[in-house]
């Protein structure tokens, strides 16, 4: 090392030490400030512990480990109505927001999609320290609150319980949330565009889905999934009344049911298996086994690498299969009626939920006709041609054309739900029964909601010879579907059916734009968590 | 571009009822159309030639009957060349359509209440754009569609171009 370099290094050292010195000074100052603050806080606490007369009325009790069974009724927030005025009640809820203002603190307590305004004010029931404690509880913490229900003169517009507020006498934290939330609930329920005007934030979909547990707490999500549960319930209820039997089918299957390209392969001991794309084969086998009318609610899997607003890789399928007497329209009518019963049930029993979702995602009310409108594919094509669309007779409907046809049907018939019957045979799976009067067409149908397909169904071929012929026509390896074809050899009744995607029905009924909004924990080619 | 311009002039000749078709050539990198007249003079440029043809057909009313009218016609003829003929016009077509839609809201023709050469040339110029629009977009630019539908139905205007289907009833009302 030369001298110069040495010098240079020394200088550098000096500079460094200078810097370090400054840093140290700063840190010392900081520490002093901190100590000061702490001292102040301690002093405050000391004085408070001396004076606090309400110290038994708030705090963070020990973790609930089921040590006791207190004789305490927790009233639900939705039940806090003027009838309960002047009663002393216990409530368990989350801290939605809190706003301290001098000697009082306003809280909004939330339970599911309901909320109420609560108030802690310094007085003979609450001390200064208690108000401060209440104001400092982190958002989203769960609290047990005892308070008096009081009528209010002016409606509280921001809450669902507008006519009362809760005057808190005791408040205990049951579960403390972390101070920083990955997303704010208010931001997550703001309608698209409304944020821009006020310069406020909205939360994008990926952030929502990454923090799904919090996003699911929003009023909109709560309403969506309560309504979705309603769809399943109405589906089951209607079909059971019609004499259907609910069945459970395996999801691990040995051969792909509808074309081999879009199935998930799983390793199955020494061989491989597939995840079911639909319970198609099994529900048909149940028909051959004399169950006559069956339905099944369960997961179905599609390994399609399509990232669209309406594709998921796992979704819930509502499947129907039914033996009929002479014409497959017997089945179509049953399915259509089931859908209509669902729409009616939602309209009548889920008004609040629909309104809640509409607040964030406005849409027109869902319209349907009774009996359901049934158009033939040919008529649909004719309507599209009339609107200037060029397409072949046997061409499948593209998504834009499907949507356009939906608009045309809505304009002409004023319905958001209709059936398109008699699809070209060429665009349907091999087990679809050909139309007896025109070999180019088939006894198959799709059902549409707001111009998007929700159900695909058909009369199935119940004759093993015709089934074999069609399979060969579709270049399907007969060996692989032997068991399926064989099940029709011992007497099989004519039958038809269809499968609906639960998420799609929810999405389209509510007029939402993305199927991920109606899937609780969506799975798509890019998302496997949460 | 050049092909289209020559076709357009041929269509215009037919529309104007000119019997003897002219011979055209093109000039320069952008293939500007050139018309050689009988007396040996060259007329250059789509709009210039178009105006010449209108005069030759003795249909001067298509260039405006008063000075105000002819100023408006000239303005739209220039728009046709500068805005619709410019490179990259295709990419900007949506904003062009939005502007035109606003302009045409209270007008039957580009000049207001009289048919002019501007309508004919704007029709030829916008045709490729209108063909590509979806039904929903045609409804969105409803005033352009109304004007376009009107012009393409005038006798002898359509000529070499396929008809664009414009729906008469609105189907996307109240779309959220």
Please say whether the beta carbons of A505 and A368 come within 8 A. Answer: no
Kindly compute the dihedral angle of the four CA atoms of residues B117, B120, B123, B125, in this order, to the nearest 10 degrees: -70
| pLDDT profile of chain A (530 residues), mean per 10 | 54 65 78 75 59 86 93 92 93 94 92 93 90 94 95 92 94 94 88 69 88 94 96 97 96 73 89 90 93 96 90 95 97 96 96 92 93 95 91 90 94 95 94 95 96 95 95 87 90 95 96 94 92
Task: Tell me whether the omega of the peptide bond preceding residue A530 falls within 30 degrees of 0, making it cis.
Answer: yes
Q: Do A408 and B171 touch (CB under 8 A)?
A: yes
ipTM over cut 0.90: no
| CATH number for domain A219-518, candidates 3.40.50.720, 3.30.930.10, 3.30.70.20, 3.30.379.10 | 3.30.930.10
CATH 2.40.50.140 fits A74-175, yes or no: yes
Selecting from A364, A387, A410 the residue whose C-beta is nearest the C-beta of B167 gives A387
> What does the CA dihedral A29, A35, A37, A40 come to, rounded to 10 degrees?
-140
> Are residues B129 and B88 in contact, defined by beta-carbon separation less than 8 angstroms?
no
pLDDT band at B39 (very low <50, low <70, confident <90, very high): confident
pLDDT of residue B2: 61
Q: Pick from A310, A346, A341: which is nearest to A507 by CA?
A: A310
**Which residues of B fall within a CB distance of 8 Å from A362?**
176
What pLDDT was estimated at residue B176?
43
Q: Using CB atoms, pick whichever of B134, B167, B176 lies closest to residue A363.
A: B176
Please state, in angstroms and as integers, the Cα–Cα distance from residue A358 to each residue in A220, A311, A342, A467, following that order.
Answer: 9, 23, 19, 47
Query: Is A74-175's fold the same as A219-518's?
Result: no
Q: Among A335, A362, A299, which residue's Cα sits nearest to residue A513?
A: A362
Residue B111 has what pLDDT? 92
Separation CA A277–CA A258 (nearest Å):
7
Structure tokens at A83: 């009838």
A79-111 per-position pLDDT tens digit: 999 999 999 999 999 999 999 988 899 999 999
For the annotated catalytic residues of A, the residue numbers are 302, 304, 310-311, 453, 456, 504
Is A459:A494 a contact under the CB 8 Å cutoff?
yes
Of B164, B165, B172, Cβ closest to residue A407: B172
Cβ-based contacts of B174 with chain A (< 8 Å): 364
Residue A486 in contact with partner chain B when CB distance is under 8 A = no
Tell me whether residues A400 and B134 touch, CB distance under 8 A: yes
DSSP letter (8 states) at residue B4: H
At B62, list the tokens.
Answer: 């298509």
Domain ranges of chain A: 74-175, 185-215, 219-518
Reported as a single tens digit per residue, the pLDDT across B46-60 is 999 999 999 999 999
Query: Which pTM value belongs to this model?
Result: 0.82
Distance (Å, whole) CA B131 – CA B142: 14
A420 to chain B nearest CA, in Å? 19
Are A404 and B164 within 8 A, CB to CB? no
User: CA-CA distances (angstroms) from residue A472 to A284, A361, A457, A465, A469?
Assistant: 20, 48, 21, 11, 5
Q: Which of B78, B85, B148 is nearest to B120 (CA)?
A: B148
Distance from CA of B131 to the nearest CA of A (A): 10
Q: Does A404 touch chain B (CB under 8 A)?
A: yes
**Quick check: A387 and B165 CB within 8 A?**
yes
Instruction: Give the tens place of pLDDT for each residue, B120-157.
Output: 999 999 998 899 898 889 999 999 999 999 999 998 88
Tell me the nearest-neighbour CA distance from A383 into chain B, angstroms.
Answer: 12
- What residues have CB less than 8 Å from B163, skipping those under 6 apart? B152
CB contact under 8 A, B176 and A408: no
């Amino acid at each position: 090392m030369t001298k110069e370099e040495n010098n240079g290094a020394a200088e550098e050292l000096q500079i460094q030490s200078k810097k370090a010195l400054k840093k140290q000074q700063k840190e010392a100052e900081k520490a002093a400030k901190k100590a000061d603050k702490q001292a102040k806080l301690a002093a405050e606490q000391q004085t408070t512990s001396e004076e606090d007369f309400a110290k038994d009325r708030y705090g963070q009790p020990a973790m609930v480990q089921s040590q006791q069974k207190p004789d305490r009724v927790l009233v639900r927030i939705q039940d806090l109505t003027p009838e309960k005025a002047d009663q002393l009640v216990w409530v368990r809820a989350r801290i939605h927001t809190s706003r301290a203002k001098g000697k009082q603190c306003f809280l909004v307590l939330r339970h599911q999609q309901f909320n109420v305004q609560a108030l802690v004010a310094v007085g003979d029931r609450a001390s200064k320290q208690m108000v401060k404690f209440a104001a400092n509880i982190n958002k989203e913490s769960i609290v047990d609150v005892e308070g008096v229900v009081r009528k209010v003169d002016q409606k509280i517009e921001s809450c669902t319980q507008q006519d009362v507020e809760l005057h808190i006498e005791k408040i205990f934290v049951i579960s403390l949330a972390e101070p920083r939330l990955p997303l704010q609930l208010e931001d997550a329920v703001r309608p698209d565009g409304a944020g821009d005007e006020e310069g406020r934030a909205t939360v994008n979909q990926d952030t929502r889905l990454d923090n799904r547990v919090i996003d699911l707490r929003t009023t909109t999500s709560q309403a969506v999934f309560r309504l979705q549960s309603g769809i399943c319930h109405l589906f089951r209820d209607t079909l059971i009344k019609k004499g259907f039997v609910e069945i459970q089918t395996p999801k691990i299957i040995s051969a792909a049911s509808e074309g081999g390209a879009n199935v998930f392969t799983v390793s199955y001991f020494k061989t491989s298996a597939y995840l079911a794309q639909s319970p198609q084969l099994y529900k048909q086998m149940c028909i051959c086994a004399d169950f006559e009318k069956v339905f099944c609610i369960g997961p179905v899997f599609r390994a399609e690498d399509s990232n669209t607003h309406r594709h998921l890789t796992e979704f819930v399928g509502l499947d129907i299969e039914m033996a009929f007497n002479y014409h497959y329209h017997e089945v179509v009518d049953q399915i259509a009626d089931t859908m209509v019963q669902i729409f009616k049930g939602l309209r009548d029993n889920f008004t609040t939920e629909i309104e809640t979702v509409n607040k964030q995602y406005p849409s027109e009310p869902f319209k349907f006709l009774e009996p359901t409108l049934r158009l033939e594919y040919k008529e649909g094509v004719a309507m599209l041609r009339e609107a200037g669309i060029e397409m072949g007779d046997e061409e499948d409907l593209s998504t834009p054309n499907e949507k356009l046809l939906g608009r045309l049907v809505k304009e002409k018939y004023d319905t958001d739900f209709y059936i398109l019957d008699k699809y070209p045979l060429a665009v349907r799976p091999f087990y679809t029964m050909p139309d007896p009067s025109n070999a180019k067409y088939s006894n198959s149908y799709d059902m549409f909601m707001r111009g998007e397909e929700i159900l695909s169904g058909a009369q199935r071929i119940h004759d093993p010879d015709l089934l074999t012929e069609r399979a060969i026509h579709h270049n399907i390896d007969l060996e692989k579907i032997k068991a399926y074809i064989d099940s029709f050899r011992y007497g099989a009744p004519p039958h038809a059916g269809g499968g609906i995607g639960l998420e799609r029905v929810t999405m389209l009924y509510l007029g939402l734009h993305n199927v991920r909004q109606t899937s609780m924990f969506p799975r798509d080619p890019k998302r496997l968590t949460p | 571009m050049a092909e289209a311009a020559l076709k357009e002039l041929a269509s215009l000749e037919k529309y104007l009822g000119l019997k003897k078709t002219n011979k055209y050539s093109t000039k320069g990198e952008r293939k500007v159309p050139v018309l050689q007249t009988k007396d040996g003079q060259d007329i250059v440029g789509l709009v210039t030639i178009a105006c010449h043809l209108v005069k030759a057909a003795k249909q001067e009313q298509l260039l405006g009957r008063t000075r105000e009218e002819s100023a408006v016609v000239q303005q739209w003829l220039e728009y046709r060349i500068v805005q619709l003929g410019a490179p990259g016009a295709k990419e900007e077509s949506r904003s062009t359509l939005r502007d035109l839609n606003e302009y045409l809201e209270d007008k039957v023709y580009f000049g207001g209440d009289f048919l002019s050469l501007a309508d004919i040339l704007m029709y030829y110029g916008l045709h490729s754009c209108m063909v590509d629009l979806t039904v929903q977009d045609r409804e969105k630019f409803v005033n352009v569609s109304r004007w376009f539908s009107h012009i393409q139905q005038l006798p002898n205007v359509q000529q070499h171009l396929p008809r664009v289907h414009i729906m008469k009833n609105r189907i996307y009302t109240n779309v959220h």
